[in-house]
Amino acid sequence: MKTSLKLLSIIAIILSLWNCGKTNTELLPGEVWIINNFEVFKIPSKQLADSDRILQKRLNTKAEILDSKDNTQGWYKVNILSDSSVITTGWVESRHFIRASKTTNWGLIKSPYGGVNIREERDTTSPIVSKLEKGQKIKAFYYENNWFAVFNIEDTTIGESKALGYVYAPLFSPPKKTAKPLLPYTIVKKEDHSYYNTPRMTYRVMLSVDKLPSEHQMKQVASKLWKNGNTKWKEFTIFFYLTGMATDDIAYGIANFTPRGLDSFNINDFALQFYPKWKK
């Protein structure tokens, strides 16, 4: 009995060692593995500088194998994945995969923010093979040159040959918000009101508007004027007037800046009572 147990222990050790040595040969392009305490580099090389390091991680992290042809030199090219995107692409030494474990949770679930084309190749001139509707969920995988191979959401088998086609990766990102244009304005007068050791400048600004502007819109104009050569003033004040208002009268909006930025902003509704067009 003791002999049998001893023999089983020896066999278990041999199998464990065999599996450890075999792990790296089993890493194939398209597979996703969990790795720990690793560094990602720009190039696969024994001579590496700090500038070659792209990323350093210590926790459980998903890595999609992109290329194993350099494994003879001890490196794998991988995509480092988060739950929703590719963090970075680079090279990881094979020794970090010795205790790795393959995950069946492959692919990133994505949906476009608008209708997009699925193309035959990773190229905007490639033929369109299908389309995705806004919000339609698919699996995205095999990230390369800013393109994803895409799969049906139900697909469970890894293989780029099974892809529906390719989608340009940025199309899965929210569209960039374009800043609304500033209110049209005219600087009517600039006045240096410095006193004692306090450099102070005031602007009188006419806003060319046909409806009451919001406080945010006026602050945008004020910020632009302050940044445009007026940050040095210890006190910088802007008096805002609306179309048709006298600029030597009470201002509708008043912005006060210090060298640190906007200090206060006030709207004076009282200034509107003299102008029927603007009277609230």
The confidence score (pLDDT) of residue 64 equals: 84
**47 within 8 A of 95, measured Cβ to Cβ:** no
Same structural domain, 31 and 90? yes
pLDDT tens digit at each of 280 positions of the chain: 545 545 544 444 444 434 443 344 457 777 778 787 788 888 887 778 878 888 887 666 888 888 766 555 778 888 888 765 788 888 888 877 755 556 656 677 888 988 999 999 999 999 999 999 998 999 888 888 889 899 988 887 777 888 999 999 888 877 767 777 899 999 999 999 999 889 999 999 999 999 999 999 999 999 999 999 999 999 999 999 999 999 999 999 999 999 999 999 999 999 998 888 887 6
Q: Model pTM?
A: 0.43
16 found inside a domain: no
The pLDDT, as a whole number, for residue 234 is: 95
User: In the listed set 102, 130, 160, which residue is the last one of a domain according to the structure?
Assistant: 102
Domain count across the chain: 3
151, part of any domain? yes
- Can you say whether the dihedral through the CA atoms of 207, 209, 212, 213 is positive or negative? negative
How many Cα atoms sit within 13 Å of 22 on the Cβ side? 6
Same domain as 119, residue 160: yes
Query: Which residue range forms the structural domain that includes residue 143?
Result: 108-172
Instruction: Note whether residue 82 is domain-resident.
Output: yes
Contact assessment for residue 241 and residue 234, using Cβ atoms and an 8 Å cutoff: no
Provide the edge-to-edge strand list for the sheet that holds 138-144.
Answer: 108-110, 138-144, 147-151, 165-168, 116-119, 128-132
The number of helices, as runs of H, and strands, as runs of E, in the chain is 2, 18
Spatial separation of the C-alpha atoms in residues 179 and 194, rounded to whole Å:
35
Are residues 250 and 224 part of one domain?
yes
107: left (phi over 0), alpha (psi -120 to 50) or beta: left
Looking at residue 59, what is its pLDDT? 66
